[in-house]
Each structure stands twice: as C-alpha cells, then as structure tokens.
Copies of this chain bind each other. A is one copy, B any other.
Amino acid sequence: MSTAGSGDEGPVIGLDIGATKVSAGVVDARGQVGERSGSLLRGRTTPEAVRAASFEAIDRVLEVPGTPRAIGIGVAAQVDSTLGTVWYAPNLGWKEVRLAPSFRERYGCPVTVANDARSAALGEWKFGAGAGATDLLSITVGTGVGGGVILGGRLLAGAIGASGEIGHTVLVSGGRRCHCPARGCLEAYVGGWAIADRAQEAVRKDPSAGRRIVELAGGVDPIDARVVGVAAAEGDRLAGRIVRTTSNYLAHGVAGLVNAFNPARVVLGGGVIEGWPHLVRAAAGCVAETCQPPAARAVRVSQAALGRDSVLVGAATLARTALGESSVGAPDEPRPRVRRGSDRAVPG
C-alpha cells in the first residue's frame, strides 16, 4: 500500500482526452465539477505528448500536488477497460497504447480508462439528462460518433467493453468510406469529420453555390461543420441542405437504434448536437414516425445536459466504481484492476 498519495479524502479527477485537447477536472460525488483545466494539443498527439499535457492539466487542478483519490480517463478511442489499454485511436494516431500505468505511477492512485462516449453515457445517466432512467441510449455526435447503453440499470459492456459503439452501425450499405475499416457507417455521414468531408465535396462540385461557405472558411480545405452551421444560419442554401441531410441521416440512424435497443430514454450530445440542437427534435420526430409503434411510445429523446463536462464527469464516476463507492456503481462494467503506484511519484 502507498503511504504518500491516494489519500481517502483526496479529490477524484476526471480526464477527457480528445483529439485536439485534454481537460481535467475535480468531480465530486454529486457529479459537480470544481477546479478544471485544459491544454490544447496543437497537433502533438503522440502518447508522450498527450501524457505530458494530461499531467500538466491534472497538476493544475490539484490543490495538494500528487494526491488524487482516483483518476478516471475518458479517451476518444477503442479501449480495453480491464487493462487500461487503448486498442486503437484513429484521431490520435494511436495503436495499442497502455495508458493507465504511467498515471498510476505518477499519482499513486487507481486509474480507470474508458471510451469517451461511453464515459459520457455514464455521466448523463448518473447526473444528466438520463438521470433516473433504467434503459438509456446515449449518443455522442462530435468529430466521431460514439455511444453507451444502459439496459436494466446496467451499463452494457460486451466482450471487451465496447458495447454501444453505435457510430459504426451501417447507415448506408456500401456507402461512404469510414475512418474504421467499414463503409457507410453512421459516423461516416454525421460525425464532424464526415460533415466537413461532405461539405467540401459539395462545394467542389458546385463552387458557385458554395461561395459563401468558402468565404467564411477561408478556402475549401478548412471547411468544417461549424462553418457550415454559420452559413446555414445566414440562409445559405447549400449549407442549409447539408444541415438538413445530416439531420435526416442522424434521425434515421437513431430510429433504427431505438428499435434495436428499446431504450426508454435517448440522450443526444457532443459538439455537433451543441452546434445544431434542432437535430434532437428531428430525431425525436423520426423515432415517433418510423419506429415500431410500441417502442416509439416507450421512448423520449432529449439533449444531453452536461455539455462538454459529460466525459469528465462520467470518467470520474467510473473511477469511483473502481474505489467501490457503490452508489455510482455500474455492475456490468468490466472491473478495472485496481493497483497502487509506488510510494515515489515517478513521471510516466
């Protein structure tokens, strides 16, 4: 057992590792975020660079350096939560990165690692728009599309803790190439990167219709979902069409998932939803109209409540599970191996 660090009264830290930024925060047992800190990665996404940025962000939120009670990491990646290993993180360029050990060594406390959308699902379930639901489908539409599913009051895990990877269900068989090995995935149509790709293609195909979008972006290559949203809000027709198509794709994808999982609650969050919140209403309408009627009657679709904090909060909540703080337990979640670091804090 460690004598330094890992104090029973120390804070629980949530860490959100995204493709462009890491954010750390102190999260209390009611899911409230206290001190917080973020670091932009500025394209430096090697495991070493991300670790350094993460340590910096965590150290900044710790009142007494080196003494968190637990750290929960949510990362934009496929994760084996039992090992704390990232299998594959296309947006970070990682393959098989053991993430947990260096954090354990440095901070001498239990460390959990989970997929970010799965962490967000746990956050929304415990403290956000999914609170009180026994059967919840949480969908995060950001750069990529991910999710997490709670059924029968349990966060579904599956064989390797990847249940709820709904971004890679088929939406258009044989359709657009995805960043994963498949074609036609939901993510390949409504993920932020895919919206950018679709918009750039549309502009290249019809430059005169795309003039305003190019102006706002300062070129074709920098066109992203945000710029499309701005142009659509100005009344630009091409941008408006891209937003409507995206909305339509997402709505039909969500309706199919409601049939498959039969949740009582669907919560939609992530950057794309925050930018275009009317996509939530469109999805709700499509669920009501096209789902199997009994499943449609049983479900409510709403927007996520925790915003950018959902990953932080969910990751910290998962870390509390590892501590055995059962009030936030998720029994089907693979139990992380809880190990203590050495007495000396050693940079990972």
Interface of A toward B, CB cutoff 8 Å: 78, 80, 87-88, 134-135, 151-152, 154, 156-166, 168-174, 180-185, 189, 248-249, 252-253, 255-257, 259-264, 289-295, 298-299, 332
Contact = CB atoms under 8 A, between A and B. Distances in A.
A163, A165, A259 — most chain B CB neighbours (10 Å): A259
Contacts of A261: 156, 158, 163
Nearest to A332: B152
A158 B135 contact: yes
Given A164-B260, A259-B168, A263-B158, A291 B253 contact: no
A170 B168 contact: no
Contact of A185 (B169, B256, B263): B256
Contacts of A259: 162, 165-166, 168-169, 180, 182
A253 B170 contact: yes
Contact of A170 (B161, B162, B256): B256
B182 A294 contact: no
Given A78-B294, A332-B152, A173 B174 contact: no
Given A151-B151, A168-B260, A173-B189, 17 more contacts: A78-B292, A78-B294, A87-B293, A135-B159, A151-B332, A158-B263, A158-B264, A164-B260, A165-B260, A169-B259, A170-B256, A171-B173, A172-B173, A174-B248, A180-B292, A181-B293, A260-B260
